[in-house]
Structure 1
Amino acid sequence: MRRLDHLAGQLLRALPIACFAGLFGLLFVNVVARTLQLAGFAWFDEIVQGLFAWMVFMGAAALWREHEHFRVDWLPDSLPPRASRLLRIVVVLLSLCFLVAMTWYGLSLARKARAVTPILSLPTALFYAAIPVSGAVMTAYSLADLVRLLRRKEP
């Protein structure tokens, strides 16, 4: 199970990095091409949208897995251990409610999307799929955190 988690962590880090590198490359080529008046890329915005969506949502999932997302630890750290644990359980449960809703409605959005991009004819559902995929990953890690908390182990 740890090996699977390690592989998931590597993938969750590699995907946003690859998207960022792709965005950087595309932006660089676009700026050079426009500056030198070589060409304009009509399909540019379509690829940027997709790369940006996947970068943001997979990056959020990677941060969620590592517990590196923004959070305020002052209150749980200042409470006695039992109250702190209870507060952390409540926070994880609230997070799970949000993540389940995000995953459900993101999946619904991706499944209902019938549009295609105007130039490359890419299905917009590919862009929207980043929402339920990242939501499912974050839900799984939140459930693991909840189990750890209920077993009295810190995540």
Structure 2
Amino acid sequence: MLTKAIDAYFALLKGIVVLCLMGMVVLVFGNVLMRYIFNSGITVSEEFARWLFVWLTFIGAIIVLRDHGHLGLDFVVNSLPRRLRRICLVVGHLLMILATWLIIDGSWTQASVNLHTYAPATGLSMGLFFGVGLIFGISTMFILVWRLFLIATGQMDRMIVIDEETAAVTQGLEK
């Protein structure tokens, strides 16, 4: 049940990323066409496309964190003895949790302060712009705390967990 809810949440996030990307393309391309063909433009195009880019970046980072897709120096940590590797993973995850807390705290402050400040072109609350940091922070905090639990209980002792699909791709490259 919980796995289905988590999968549905990440499917929703992926849908939002697709919508952000589509919106950016339509706004920017539409604005270029309007300028060249009709000698006018879409007033909100640049501002709203920038907002969509910020949302796309933060939400994409959540998805990539779940899929173990971020860059890392896993070959260094994975070459250490098991006990030292687990210590490094715990310290690394604690530092990431601290950084995530700082993002949550800063995003909350910025969203609250700018809740009644409005963007010049769209008129939308700037709280929406900074609110994506809260979505990012809370989502990644759950992922990182879960992984810290897995490391502490010995269920995860490597930085990168390769799933069956990735392993199949890797084996195909080795042939």
TM-score band, normalised by shorter chain: over 0.9
Q: Is the 8 A contact 2:28 2:46 kept in 1?
A: no
Q: Aligned with 1:9: secondary structure?
A: helix
Q: How far does residue 127 in structure 1 lie from its aligned partner after superposition?
A: 0.9
* Counterpart residue number, 2:65: 64
Q: How far does residue 39 in structure 1 lie from its aligned partner after superposition?
A: 2.2
Q: Is the 8 A contact 1:43 1:119 kept in 2?
A: yes
* Counterpart residue number, 2:84: 83
* Counterpart residue number, 1:152: 154
* Counterpart residue number, 1:126: 128
Q: Aligned with 1:129: secondary structure?
A: helix
Q: How far does residue 38 in structure 1 lie from its aligned partner after superposition?
A: 4.3
Note the residue ranges of structure 2 that are not aligned, 5 or more in a row.
162-175
Rounded Cα–Cα distance in structure 1 between residues aligned with 2:140 and 2:38:
44
Answer yes or no: is 1:102 the counterpart of 2:103: yes
Query: Residue type matched to 1:128 in 2?
Result: F
Of stretches 29-38 and 129-138 in structure 1, the one that deviates more from structure 2 is 29-38
Rounded Cα–Cα distance in structure 2 between residues aligned with 1:44 and 1:128:
19
| Normalised TM-score (structure 1) | 0.94
Q: How far does residue 120 in structure 1 lie from its aligned partner after superposition?
A: 2.6
Q: What is the RMSD computed on CA atoms of the aligned residues?
A: 1.3
Q: Is the 8 A contact 2:20 2:56 kept in 1?
A: yes
* Counterpart residue number, 2:172: none
Q: How far does residue 121 in structure 1 lie from its aligned partner after superposition?
A: 1.2
Of stretches 145-154 and 111-120 in structure 1, the one that deviates more from structure 2 is 111-120
Identity of aligned residues (%): 23
Q: Is the 8 A contact 2:97 2:144 kept in 1?
A: yes
